[in-house]
Amino acid sequence: MTAPSSDKVFSGSVPQIYDRLMVPMIFAPYARDLAQRIKGHRPHDLLEIAAGTGAVTTVLAAELPDTHITATDLNEPMLAQARTHLAGKSNITWQQADALSLPFADASFDVVACQFGAMFFPDRIKGYAEVRRVLRPGGRFLFNVWDRIEENDFADVMQQTMHQVFASDPPQFMARTPHGYHDAARVRGDLTAAGFRDITIEMVTHRSPAASAQDAAIAYCQGTPMRGEIEARGTPGLEATTQRVAEALARRFGNGPIDGKIQALVISAA
């Protein structure tokens, strides 16, 4: 099923909430993991696709000071947010770019990285073929995708709550897109169809910390395109729905700081 175009809209206050709450909660552990894998390849020129607000970019810039990083995203507002805390890094070039039509010459990069972006590609085989085109001979594509939503605690509780609040038409963004591309065989097949070989896929589990159930609820309901889906449904509204999710999370994980499981596939392809 093709995701609606609204699934790729990160605008308004979404980038700021995403950066403040979502990044430390679910993206930072995988950013460190991906950066360490990339570091082992000692790239001179690295392309990052779907850089978002710079979770991976931040780690890479510190770990690989001699690597030139070209950080791209389809959404300029996300890159604008990333620039706010990476403005002084001389080894980073920022550029708005569509992953399905990369504005770079063939064989331009030693490594291409993509943190939790492939799920958003309208045509993944085409996107992977573009990555292969811009990689140098012997280059490597390293990326990750979320496992099924049931294996990711906070997201699963949030999705169950959506079914309770909007019984006839629950918002499905998280299940449909971020957690909608979790089949390892399908990922391998798409990469193979795009011309990649030497493909390794590893399941990696981390813990997801949040200062409170309220913070986690705000992150999911207001810091992702889920926000637009909730708002489009009207009653009970964004704030009341966020509160319902916060209450569900608190019942499951307790009051005060909370902690849940997150799980993803980490892929390397040559």
Mean pLDDT of the chain: 94
Q: Strand 45-49 relative to strand 258-269: parallel, antiparallel, unpaired? A: unpaired
For the chain, domains (ranges, CATH) are 5-269 (3.40.50.150)
Mean pLDDT for the stretch of residues 125-145? 98
User: Which of 14, 143, 23 lies closest to 76 in space, CA to CA?
Assistant: 14
pLDDT band at 4 (very low <50, low <70, confident <90, very high): low
Which residues lie closer than 8 Å to 232 by C-beta, 6 or more apart? Answer: none
The pLDDT assigned to 188 comes to 98
Q: What is the helix, strand, coil percentage profile of the chain, to 5?
A: 45, 20, 30
Predicted confidence (pLDDT) at residue 45 exceeds the cutoff of 70: yes
Query: pLDDT digits over 90-133, tens only?
Result: 899 999 999 999 999 999 999 999 999 999 999 999 999 999 99
Give this prediction's pTM. 0.93
Q: Strand 92-96 relative to strand 68-73: parallel, antiparallel, unpaired? A: parallel
Query: pLDDT digits over 154-196, tens only?
Result: 999 999 999 999 999 999 999 999 999 999 999 999 999 999 9
